[in-house]
Amino acid sequence: MRSFSTPARRPFFVLALIPVLLLPAQVVAATGELIVGTTGGSLKGATRALGGAEFLGIPYAQPPVGDLRWREPLPAKPWTGVREATTFGAPCAQAILGDWNRHDAEISKEDCLFLNVMTPVWPPPKTPLPVMVWFHGGANAGGTASSALYKDGMLVQHGVVLVTVNYRLGMVGFFAHPALTKESPHHSSGNYGLLDQLLALQWVHDNIAKFGGDPANVTAFGQSAGAIDAGYLMVSPLAKGLFQRLIAQSGSPLGPPLPKLSEAEQANQKLVASLKAPADHELQSLRERSVQELLVVPGKQDPEAPSIGPIIDGWLISRSPAEVLSAGQEAPVDLLIGTTSREFGMPGPPDEVRKLFKT
């Protein structure tokens, strides 16, 4: 990919007359600004303190708000000009589950489908680097790609391009309902958070080469719920070809049996009864409710009912992961699986936990 330096005045002058969206994938301006062209538009990143570059808060999907709440995510609409990509996007909407996610919950928003890209060197090397895509943990109810535990991207120092991903959580990300299933062209509902992860992987496939990454050498990895979710993608026909390796840290798709779509629909119909939505336009009413009102609903759930979370929806997850694996029909990926030494070891806010890890 060409890089125009200060002496190349004539090419740079010509480029200045071309719309920004037609800029080459990578331009290092004379001012030191880092600008990259993506399928959505041009991004301005920043130099990392440890070297390389970072591009933060990149929208990979349209905001899942209003009529797009509880729908398959749509790719981000292209923008004009150069978008600043120097700060993290908001965490996805979540209730306070404890001290570990209190800060994230307080600043969380429903408009949250952002990812972050960190590279070890800039400009990108001629030989593409391995790519690692991180899905955070948090029981699919809390957490964020910008957690203080790993937002510094220390892994990048080992010669990889790192991508961290926000995805919808809780009732906003994992809510099945008969009305949603009826309106879906796939006759499915519920796994919106997993669909977000799938779209993020597609974004990586389409764009990561412009950041120096190899789209044919992608490792999906996660911890706890993030590891479980990545395992579900491994057995999903929709994710084949989007990653070649999987590292599952304290999580496996072979956990408790997943509820079926019909079971989740039935349980959630009872669950939303507390919201007293009008029967003749229940779905419209639910989409008009504040996200804060929805986040507290799972706390009213019958302990015996299927919990809010991934399900066998008949589309993204067509049957139980155990059946897919037994039949050898999972994606042909290399798998590394294990348990982190500090699973559930979260005695305080993330900044305090990081201090403990350094001692």
Structure-token match 């496996």, residue found: 252
Structure-token match 């990143």, residue found: 45
| Residue 286 amino acid letter | L
Show the tokens assigned to 343: 């699973």
Is 15 part of a structural domain of the chain?
no
Whether the Cβ atoms of residue 134 and residue 201 lie closer than 8 Å to each other: no
**Integer Cα distance of 351 and 41 in angstroms:** 34
| Residue 218 amino acid letter | V
| Residue 196 amino acid letter | D
Is 164 part of a structural domain of the chain?
yes
Please list the helix, strand and coil fractions of the chain in percent, rounded to the nearest 5, in that order: 35, 20, 50
CATH number of the domain within which 63 lies: 3.40.50.1820
DSSP 264-321: HHHHHHHHGGGGT--GGGHHHHHHHS-HHHHHTGGGGS-TTSPPSS--B-SSSS-S-H
pLDDT of residue 274: 80
Whether the Cβ atoms of residue 188 and residue 181 lie closer than 8 Å to each other: yes
Domain of residue 185 covers: 51-358
- Strand 334-338 and strand 42-47: pairing? unpaired
From first to last of the 359 residues of the chain, give the pLDDT tens digit. 334 333 443 333 333 333 433 444 444 433 457 999 999 999 999 999 888 999 999 999 999 999 999 999 999 999 999 999 999 999 999 999 999 999 999 999 999 999 999 999 999 999 999 999 999 999 999 999 998 777 777 899 999 999 999 999 999 999 999 999 999 999 999 999 999 999 999 999 999 999 999 999 999 999 999 999 999 999 999 999 999 999 999 888 888 889 999 999 999 988 888 888 887 888 999 999 999 999 887 766 666 666 789 999 999 999 999 999 999 999 999 999 988 876 655 445 556 556 555 54
Q: How many domains does the chain have?
A: 1
Q: What is the pTM of this model?
A: 0.86
Hey, how many other C-beta atoms are within 10 angstroms of the C-beta on 346? 17
Is 235 part of a structural domain of the chain?
yes
Is 81 part of a structural domain of the chain?
yes
Three-state DSSP state, 123: coil
Is 245 part of a structural domain of the chain?
yes
Is 17 part of a structural domain of the chain?
no
pLDDT of residue 304: 63
pLDDT of residue 17: 35
pLDDT of residue 20: 38
pLDDT of residue 28: 47
Is 36 part of a structural domain of the chain?
no
Question: Which residues, other chains included, contact 40 with Cβ-Cβ below 8 Å and sequence gap of 6+?
Answer: 58, 59, 60, 75, 76, 77, 78, 79
Triad 354, 357, 359: Cα angle to 5°: 115
Is 273 part of a structural domain of the chain?
yes
